[in-house]
Amino acid sequence: MDLGLKGRKAIVCAASKGLGRACAEALAAEGVDLLITARGADQLESTADDIRHSTGATVATLAGDVTTREGRAAILAAMPDPDILVNNAGGPPPGDFRDWDEAAWEKALGANMIAPIMLIRAVVDGMAARRFGRIVNITSGAVKAPIPALGLSNGARTGLTGFIAGLSRQVARNGVTINNLLPGHFATDRLKTTFAAEAARTGRPVAEVMAEAEAANPTGRIGRPDEFGRACAFLCSVHAGFIVGQNILMDGGRFPGTM
């Protein structure tokens, strides 16, 4: 299926690795020109080279922290008028709610709620004026079913989700869609770290923790980042204009609800 995106421009945040990178790769494969970001310049440049070679797409890079004002200003200066914005950043650390003081909450809200909202605020009117825009926020399955050790993520991402539920209905008339993609377990560095922490906590081998997660999933496996990236590209496509304000859970069916 041609996604109808050739020649469009996209900002993909936090995209040197993992799910952000997979979204960038899938968009580039559709002929989208990219600006990809991450804090670490070396990995970012190496990812940009890989994407250029595998897709022939134009890929610009911006090394910086998307959770800071300066980082976002640099992104917007480099691409002020994107057709597509994929919001992403690292997730907050796990812990016990008693450990999280006001500063910890401000940091989590800054990264996983305020940063995406500020980028949306900066680009959404331009998208509406051009009568086309696609915004995808990478959130988490924690929005659907809270993960006790990730209370900062549960709270911050749900705040973003509530805001998007309202805003998405305000801009849809102008051809702009905003949706959230909620990953379950995907094979990225972040997941490796999470499984390693669980292995250390329970004194078990990492392989056992991973095998347990695979066995518990209805698909019998962990998700592949390329599956996530392609779903993101479809949400950005010309065919997805009637998908508005949705929270699309990609977890292999792990969440057991009927809806």
| End-to-end alpha carbon distance in the chain | 28
Q: Among 3-11, 64-72, 172-180, 230-238, which window interacts with ligand NAP (CB under 6 A)? A: 64-72
Told to check if 161 binds ligand NAP by CB under 6 A, we report: no
Please choose, from the candidates 145, 143, 180, 175, the residue with its C-alpha nearest in 3D space to the C-alpha of residue 165. 180
Asked if residue 217 lies in contact with residue 185, where contact means CB atoms within 8 angstroms, the answer is yes
Give the residue with the Cβ less far from ligand NAP, 172 or 231: 231
Told to check if 36 binds ligand NAP by CB under 6 A, we report: no
Told to check if 177 binds ligand NAP by CB under 6 A, we report: no
Q: d(Cα 53, Cα 164) in Å, to the nearest integer?
A: 35
| Angle between helix 206-216 and helix 189-202 axes, rounded to 10 deg | 110
Torsion from C-alpha of 105, 135, 250, 32, nearest 10 degrees: -130
H helices present in the chain, as ranges: 18-29, 41-55, 69-78, 102-109, 115-130, 151-171, 189-202, 206-216, 225-236
Told to check if 186 binds ligand NAP by CB under 6 A, we report: yes
Told to check if 90 binds ligand NAP by CB under 6 A, we report: yes
At closest approach, how far in Å is the CB of 107 from ligand NAP? Answer: 10
Give the residue with the Cβ less far from ligand NAP, 37 or 55: 37
Give the residue with the Cβ less far from ligand NAP, 94 or 171: 94
Residues 12-31 within binding reach of ligand NAP (CB under 6 A): 14-20
Residues that bind ligand NAP (CB under 6 A): 14-20, 37-40, 43, 65-67, 88-91, 138, 140-141, 183, 185-186, 188-191
